[in-house]
Structure 1
Amino acid sequence: MLRVPDSFGLDDDQHERYCESIAHVVADFTAAVRDADPATPVSTCPGWTLADLVEHHGTTHRWAEHVVRTRATEPVLAREVPLDLPDDPSAYPQWLARGAESCLRTLRTVDPDLPMWSYGADQRVAFYPRRLLFEAVIHCADAQLALGQEPRVEPGTAADGIAEFLENLPRRTRTTERQAPLAGGSVRLLARDTGAAWTITFGAAGFSWTATAEAADVTVTADVADLLLLLYGRRRPEADRFTVRGGTAVLDAWLSTTAT
């Protein structure tokens, strides 16, 4: 389980708290996959095995470490970064752990307010630990679901993950291309365990969102961790853990553009 307090993201040392949380969730991830068959299918990432999932996540850490260490001012492709990937997929979990440790060492030596290129809304070093945390949260959930385990994410972390997802969504070209042909609509997310809410309005001109419970075409109520996994396509709204009221076609249209 990701061990982050509900006050996560609200204190002065936010950068270090993100780094600590990455270390925790990577430890959970490696523990889940260390003794598992690398050929195990990952249902939430169609066509992938656990080996593919671990390779992808390990690549992300090495890529981010390179980008931050070199203070990139323009996009860097993953294939431009040395990976040193082992030949044996059973060695991937330890390779992932080493890459995460190296990335965290680099992040902890850099001022989070330094400006630099990122593919998200925040054009500072601070973008990277926050993004890496939620990459880890979602991919740890992928691994756990593949192995028949139940993902657990603390409410404060999940709420920050939803905000981070929505903040960065306009920068995802594939998502904006999918949204362009949609008719207008709105989705309200209500967290039954915390009372938090988000309202998303979308259409051909793009989308906007607020961290409030506004009137909407469809309302989805669930625990905040399940709402986070829903946005990433790791949960389906018809599952018993969700209550959906309103236009399900509007919800399906929105989710079809956001799943990663």
Structure 2
Amino acid sequence: MAGHSHWANIAFKKGLVDKKRGKLFGKLSRYIIVAARRGGGDPAANLALRYAIDRARKASMPNDTIDRAVKKGTGELETETYDEVIYEGYGPNGVAILCEILTENRNRTAGEIRKTFEVNGGNLGSTGCVAYLFERKGIIQIPTKAVAEDQLFEVALEAGASDVQQVGDMFEVSCTPDAFQTVTTALETAKIPTESAEVMRVASNTVDLDVEAARAVLKLMELLEDHDDVQSVTANFNIPDSVMAQLEAG
């Protein structure tokens, strides 16, 4: 398993989401604020806001916290102004890493992200240095125990999905960004529960890691993910099953 889903599953197994729930809520609030500011506060008319709210609800964010974030985005409540920035760089073993940022202070964030790369065996690069290695895709994860594979294939592919694969204990449905809404709506209509659903950057090719390189890359990924201004971290690494087993064994 590689790239986006690999890191997401590792983070889930390590309990990073639960341990940092307060930090996660802060990040999701920023996402909602920016979406509401750009497209208005009605999720029915603002697809980006709908996705942001869906992500927040899946993370068990309280409804009043979601409502406050929407009101901040629409100007009903005061808030900071966030800039959207993408930082690109290289981690250990030449792994390409892309960070999506929402920050109220670009200079501070750039310095902190640069230092995180440098002290962990990587380096922050210039704009465009690794972005070409990733493409935007809709990625929807469904627990394998929640639906029969044949039913999922039929619903997803008929709605315009590009592919359906089993990744561990999850089915992963992929589609183009344009088809994302149609596919997610079809799954909802078919009452197929999703673990996660978002448009993200996916690596077009991957770098295999041995145990030492995997430890170093995962440490850097975790530190970047932990930064308050980082919304998501994507990389083009692949950890073979045999190496993953060694990592999990300690």
The structure that is strand-richer by fraction is 2
TM-score with structure 2 length normalisation? Answer: 0.27
TM-score with structure 1 length normalisation? Answer: 0.26
